[in-house]
Chains A and B, each alone.
Chain A
């Protein structure tokens, strides 16, 4: 499967309070959370973002709180995947558990610019920059995580284990 979209670029240490500020955590409805996605970094993000767009961040993307509302709001805003140099640990788990595709690539994080059109091959992790005509490799997804994805997320994996 290939994901194709336009890039929204953010810097290092994008924290979960920026992704979805705690003042909106009095709900867990994906549509409500999407309205405020990335609000404290870019107040108009949720109105500007289009279905399929891609977020590219620097190192330590998703640091801070354990709120699963962060990947939920990104996914519900229409963003198709996140690419970063590195991800904070809990955000990394939460993304797999909630079905938000994420890719770790230092090269892609450095070379991709805001507005670039890129295409990501989900299986191989190869990232193609259609604007700059460049190609980048991302870290392979560990087999256990791939197994979670293949089972349709953690809860389906658990379901198959307990039945």
Chain B
């Protein structure tokens, strides 16, 4: 029977020849991930089982990235729970301050997640690793606790939607715009419970960094996972850093899809998602004049070196507008160091931007750039819900790094062509 890449990975991890949409399976997990917000509950639940070990101490990954470096006493207490658990159970992949980064950027970078993996994480953006041809999905803390104990997760095999992107990208249009455009088209529940498979010539031409951005936001359309079949770029990326041997899967040509959606990307301009849902997208030419107070460049969506380079190219030789704060957050320490060595820090600081240590921080209104009442931000992050970045009466406009940098200079939501 013909299968999609998602079905093949799930079948393999459930020790089955084949699986079909709707089927409930119990599957082995390769990686079980938690962070400083979700892991404390998982650890509390896991401890109720009175086990003296986790299913595999090399496959449990803990990254205190959300409110770390600790933003207040309560956050410090939560991070401490992870540290103590990592010590007690000899968790090899525990990343404290000094090693950590934004989890979904760190794991691919460090080769912890490889193609063909089945990954669950108590963080909704765990779907990011689909960019490498892995099945990865977000779960809650209790699911994570169960996986800590058993190394397994129950899953309903999802139906798949195939997205085909063809054509040449316009100037300043990136993976972020493709995924925002897609969410704008199908809506925030357009792929509810389903797998989003991204295909086509445009996707094949995207660098791995861009593919990570696309898979990252599958959850913003309600998707269970986002996935891109591995090709030569994936293999080059994975083979140079892998901790384990990858398995490269692809969909059969006659695999079944619940829907096939095609886009001609030459018709897409840079996208901005207006408050308060990622589906409220408009092309940059239709934005109008919206004054802003802050720009954030970073997060698991757009915090990689490629993203920072795009922003630096726009901002180079220019100044951040008066009374606008521009905050740049490299996603990992490697990104931080590389950006520093490539001179990007000088470019940002000359323009009047600041550079933060890696953290999820402002993306979820945690710290390092929380918004006051009535303030507006342009952000390269993934969500613009009410109160997402601070006060319930603040606003977040989602965009790509080029638009974010241009907006910082213009002091309004703006594309690079408007400078």
**Interface set of A (CB-CB < 8 Å, partner B):** 13, 15, 17-18, 21-23, 25-28, 39-41, 43, 59-60, 63-69, 72, 86, 88-90, 93-94, 97-98, 142, 144, 153-155, 158-159, 161-162
Contacts and interface: CB of A to CB of B under 8 A. Distances in A.
A25 B79 CA distance: 12
B138 A90 contact: yes
Given A28-B40, A161-B150, A15 B385 contact: yes
Contacts, number: 137
Interface stretch (B187-195, B323-331, B406-414): B187-195
A93 B37 CA distance: 18
Interface of B: 24, 37-38, 40-41, 44-45, 48-49, 51, 66-67, 71-72, 74-75, 78, 121-124, 126, 138-143, 145-146, 149-150, 154, 188-189, 192-193, 219, 222, 224, 277, 364-366, 370, 383, 385-388, 390, 392
Contacts of B189: 13, 59-60, 63, 86, 88
Contacts of B40: 28
A26 B386 contact: no
A94 B45 CA distance: 13
Contacts of A90: 124, 138-140
B222 A23 contact: no
Contacts of A144: 24, 154
Q: Is the interface of B mostly helix, strand, loop or mixed?
A: loop
B365 to A, nearest CB: 5
B224 A89 contact: yes
Contacts of B126: 66
Given A15-B383, A97-B140, 19 more contacts: A17-B386, A18-B385, A26-B71, A26-B78, A28-B40, A28-B41, A39-B392, A60-B188, A63-B189, A64-B124, A66-B139, A67-B37, A67-B38, A68-B122, A68-B140, A68-B142, A69-B41, A93-B139, A155-B146
Given A15-B385, A26-B67, A60-B189, A155 B37 contact: no
Nearest to B46: A155
Given A86-B189, A154-B142, A158-B150, A23 B366 contact: yes
Please name the 3 residue pairs, one residue from A and one from B, whose CB atoms are nearest each other, closest first. Answer: A26-B74, A94-B140, A97-B142
20 contacts: A13-B277, A17-B365, A17-B387, A18-B385, A23-B365, A23-B387, A25-B67, A25-B364, A26-B72, A40-B386, A60-B222, A64-B219, A64-B385, A65-B383, A66-B138, A67-B38, A69-B41, A89-B192, A98-B140, A158-B49
